[in-house]
Each structure stands twice: as C-alpha cells, then as structure tokens.
Homo-oligomer: A and B are copies of this chain.
Amino acid sequence: MSGYLDARPRVGYFYTGKSNDHILSDKVKTITVGHYKSRPVVVTESSSVYEAVTTMFLEDVGTLFVVDKLSTLSGVVSRKDLLRASLGQQSLESIPVGVIMTRMPNVTVCEDQDSIIEVAKKLINKQIDGLPIVKKVSHGSGYEVTGRITKTNMTSLLVDLANNETI
C-alpha cells in the first residue's frame, strides 16, 4: 500500500492525501522514453523518394529519419509525406528525399531521459506518428539519432500498464 502512508520523525505515520489516481499518475510520469524506444531507421538526404518508400516497407516502419553527410539528423519523412510525393507527376526515382522531408529545425526531437507522457502529448498535439530520439553532438546539425518513439510504443505501454508489466 506504499504511497498512501508516509512517516515523519516524532509524528509517526500520516496519510499522504494521495488517491489511487495520483499514485498511478506519479508512477506513469517516471517512465522515460528510453524505456520504450525502438531502433531508428535512417536514409541519407540524397536517397530518392523511391528508395525511401522501399526502405519503409522493408523495415516496416512509419517514419524514417534523414541524415546528412556527417550522419547527424537533417530531417524526418513520414508515410504521409511519401504518399503526397507519389501523387505528383514526377518519377519517384528522380526526387531526392531531402526535397520532401520536414527539415531541421522544424523537426520535434526528444531525448532518452524525457518523460514518455510529455512525448505522448507532443505526438498528439503535433499530429505526428513518431519522433526521433537524439543525443546532442558538437558537429553537423548537433543531433545524432539514437532511437525512435511512436504511437505504437505508447500503445504497448498502455497494455503493459493494464497488465502490471511496466518496466
């Protein structure tokens, strides 16, 4: 029943005033992105849209991260971006992914130690499926991609919470 009663010297036990709901939300709020991340799938800026679509199918992901020559994050491309590009009249082999991606600094990123709930809010507010997890570096765009966190990870966390299996 830990969390309901707390102890103070010379006072003894007292009721913390926390309800079930508060203890639950305290628990959920301590879970970080690093606990639930997936591996990132990256393509280079000069890859064609066709190559990006192929990579998306072969790796079975919904979001690709685009890196520059220094292997730092330069953009993000989603299924929606690729679908929009495929509506055009141009051949998908001739368009580099760098033309259609969302480019830094307009990309929302997060880090391993961020709260997973704060990231879940970002996914909803910005209407995106996934975010790159980054590590700050001193070259290129300043961000190295280390992982991926998506609405699928959020759904897994929800199932784990219901089964008392959170990490």
Contact = CB atoms under 8 A, between A and B. Distances in A.
Oligomeric state, in number of copies?
2
25 contacts: A2-B20, A3-B20, A20-B24, A21-B164, A24-B162, A24-B164, A25-B162, A25-B163, A28-B162, A57-B80, A83-B86, A86-B86, A86-B87, A117-B159, A120-B159, A123-B152, A123-B155, A151-B151, A151-B155, A154-B154, A154-B155, A155-B155, A158-B158, A158-B161, A161-B161
A108 B107 CA distance: 34
Given A84-B57, A151-B151, A152-B151, A124 B159 contact: yes
Contacts of A79: 62, 79-80, 83
Interface residues of A, number: 48
A23 B24 CA distance: 9
Majority secondary structure, A binding face:
helix
The 5 A-B residue pairs with the shortest CB-CB distance, nearest first, are A86-B86, A151-B151, A21-B164, A154-B155, A28-B162
Contacts of A62: 79, 129
A129 to B, nearest CB: 8
A27 interface: yes
A136 interface: no
A4 interface: yes
Interface of A: 1-4, 19-25, 27-29, 50, 53, 56-57, 60, 62, 79-80, 82-84, 86-87, 92, 117, 120-121, 123-124, 127, 129, 150-152, 154-159, 161-164
